[in-house]
Structure 1
Amino acid sequence: MTGTPAEIALLTNPTSGKGKGALARDAALQRFAEAGVPVRSLQGRDAAEALDLARAVVADGVETLVIAGGDGMVHLGAQAVAGTGTTLGIIPAGTGNDVARYLDLPRSDPRAAAERVLAGRTRTIDLARSGSQHFVTVLAAGFDAIVNERANEMTWPKGQMRYNIATLAELRTFTPIPYILDLDGQTRSLEAMLVAVGNGPSFGGGLRITEGAVLDDGLLDVVIIKPMSRLGLVRTYPKLFKGTHVTHPAYEHHRVRSVTVAAPGIVSYADGERFGALPLTVECAPGALTVLH
């Protein structure tokens, strides 16, 4: 399906990607104005207000909600449009931009990304759902989630380096986590470094933890990284960028429609955002999101 949107609501996180959000918004607004497409430009004071604004325009029947920001803003947009008739467009302006990678969108040229919105090509993809919440990329529920928690508590440094430092700090004391998993009704008790639930193949700016995950297959990809040494974890980490970690003996992969993940003291993250404390049940929501690409 193609066709220039009749009206656009543009929701921005101006602080995405160290201020790239505001620049991306301005470039997109200029391009939409040149095309003569009416735009409602929205910006919340915080995530809660931004979500309220997004839900209000969707309830008002806006045809296309466009996000200017990173995966966190895409996550927010997905909550507003999942299962509705509103299409989601993306002007990538974050640090990770994994959803933009999935859709092969221009990640450093907001005018080119706006051009994709104007072209109006749509694709229907799955979402992962837990209760009333959805996510697009990957649910992190182990060592990676613990690192996220620590990084969020740090005020210095900014950007990727903060996650690198948090990773090193957690590695010093990390021990395997006891999990109970329910994989489409099959129960497993095991120890692991992490469990990741993927709707798509990557998170964290191209870390292909759930390599092979397909956005529209009606399935979730569950990856288990079984206990390994700290040195082994450090050595394996670079392989995540190419997805070549799948040959490691500690790697285990399942495709399911539903998974319950339980482990003590773990707060999960999805699309880079705090998602919820375990235990959580996640199921695939086939065809729940229509995106512009």
Structure 2
Amino acid sequence: MTGTRDIALLTNPTAGRGRGAKARDAALQRLREAGITPRTLQGRDPAEALDLAHQCVADGVETLVVVGGDGMVHLGVQATAGTSTALGLIPAGTGNDVARYFDLPRKDPRAATERLLAGAPRRIDLARSGDRYFLTVLAAGFDAIVNERANRMTWPRGQMRYNIATLAELRVFEPIPYTLDLDGESHHLEAMLVAVGNGPSFGGGLRITEGALLDDGLLDVVVIKPMSKTGLVRTYPKLFKGTHVTHPAYEHHRVHSVTVAAPGIVSYADGERFGALPLTVECVPGALTVIC
């Protein structure tokens, strides 16, 4: 953030089970020690937080720093994409995939603020569908179905809710019929999931679109073709290392634009409910400036 003094700090205080507020306080202390007094913002809900972010950008703030997880990054991206306002991050979420992309300290907000202060602007790509953007991965298959079930559950809390949702869906899951349009080339197939990556990972380090780059002007589309439920369970741990790419059910395409269609699937992007299929997603090169 060399030379920048005009910043706004937007916080999700409930991120990471309450770590957001503590991370904000640590970041504020370090920024003030550096002679920076940022605008501090906190929405009562995501809609208000997004309104505040848009207002900051409209006011011409140089850098919008979000404190939270990938959901807060997603919100910040909607306000800063295609503008002169840069986006910074103090990680305080559960998954923190964007923090992984830029090798930011994920458990030490003061150290993350140091990195912010020493950072330089970098232009990266975004993925866009309609007027909405995402930075990480769009999930449009088994993983999205699990998210839908987990969001309907009220118990238990945390990661265990997703584990239970995964087991429940796995019992009844069948391959999904997809139609994909990859840069104008149509494909009809059955698959366990289709993922569209601007970056390489989602869900707390699951490297589903291994090899995706943030500045190559391309989207990485990964198809996991039909496999047994036992095979799916055995392959899952490989996603954390990206070694699933050697599995015969794995298929990888690099494209500028993709349309994904499948019946009854609601997609998730940056961990947020994104929209029902079909969706067309395009890469927007250099759409975002980040401080990293």
Q: TM-score, normalised by structure 1?
A: 0.99
Q: Displacement, 1:133?
A: 0.3
For the residue of structure 1 that corresponds to 2:222, the secondary structure is: strand
Counterpart of 1:266 in structure 2 is 265
CA deviation digits over 1:235-254, x for unaligned, max 9? 00000000000000100000
Q: Which amino acid aligns with 2:197?
A: G
Separation of aligned partners in 2, 1:157 and 1:190 = 35
Separation of aligned partners in 2, 1:62 and 1:227 = 48
Q: Displacement, 1:205?
A: 0.3
Separation of aligned partners in 2, 1:55 and 1:113 = 24
Q: What does residue range 15-30 of structure 1 map to in structure 2 within 5 Å?
A: 15-30=14-29
Q: Which amino acid aligns with 2:183?
A: D
User: Are residue 111 (structure 1) and residue 103 (structure 2) matched?
Assistant: no
Q: Which amino acid aligns with 1:25?
A: R
Q: Displacement, 1:149?
A: 0.5
Q: What does residue range 142-291 of structure 1 map to in structure 2 within 5 Å?
A: 142-291=141-290
Structure 1 contact 4–117 (Cα < 8 Å) conserved: no
Q: Displacement, 1:120?
A: 3.5
Q: Displacement, 1:161?
A: 1.4
Separation of aligned partners in 1, 2:151 and 2:40 = 29
Q: Which amino acid aligns with 1:87?
A: A
Structure 1 contact 180–263 (Cα < 8 Å) conserved: yes
Q: What does residue range 117-136 of structure 1 map to in structure 2 within 5 Å?
A: 117-136=116-135
Separation of aligned partners in 1, 2:120 and 2:109 = 17
Counterpart of 1:94 in structure 2 is 93
Structure 1 contact 95–159 (Cα < 8 Å) conserved: no
Q: How many residue pairs align between the two structures?
A: 292
Q: Displacement, 1:116?
A: 1.6
Separation of aligned partners in 1, 2:126 and 2:111 = 26
Q: Displacement, 1:154?
A: 1.1
Structure 1 contact 4–120 (Cα < 8 Å) conserved: no
Q: Displacement, 1:38?
A: 2.0
Separation of aligned partners in 1, 2:159 and 2:288 = 29
Q: Displacement, 1:48?
A: 0.6
Q: Displacement, 1:4?
A: 3.6
Moved more, 218-227 or 111-120: 111-120
Separation of aligned partners in 1, 2:3 and 2:102 = 18
Q: Mind listing any 5+ residue stretches in structure 1 that lack a counterpart?
A: none
Separation of aligned partners in 1, 2:40 and 2:95 = 23
Q: Which amino acid aligns with 1:165?
A: I
Q: Relative to 1, partners in 2 of residues 1:4 and 1:117: Cα closer, same or farther, differing over 3 Å?
A: farther
Separation of aligned partners in 2, 1:274 and 1:266 = 11
CA deviation digits over 1:103-149, x for unaligned, max 9? 01111110111112212312111000000000000000000000000
Q: Relative to 1, partners in 2 of residues 1:144 and 1:137: Cα closer, same or farther, differing over 3 Å?
A: same
Q: Relative to 1, partners in 2 of residues 1:251 and 1:28: Cα closer, same or farther, differing over 3 Å?
A: same
Separation of aligned partners in 2, 1:173 and 1:215 = 36
Deviating above 6 A after TM superposition, structure 1's stretches of 4 or more consecutive aligned residues are none
Separation of aligned partners in 1, 2:82 and 2:116 = 20
User: Are residue 74 (structure 1) and residue 73 (structure 2) matched?
Assistant: yes
Structure 1 contact 5–120 (Cα < 8 Å) conserved: no
Q: Mind listing any 5+ residue stretches in structure 2 that lack a counterpart?
A: none
Q: Displacement, 1:185?
A: 0.3
Moved more, 55-64 or 158-167: 158-167
Q: Displacement, 1:178?
A: 0.4
For the residue of structure 2 that corresponds to 1:231, the secondary structure is: helix
Q: Which amino acid aligns with 2:267?
A: S
For the residue of structure 2 that corresponds to 1:129, the secondary structure is: strand
Q: TM-score, normalised by structure 2?
A: 0.99
Percent sequence identity is 81
State the Cα RMSD in Å.
Answer: 0.7
For the residue of structure 1 that corresponds to 2:239, the secondary structure is: helix
Separation of aligned partners in 2, 1:134 and 1:52 = 16
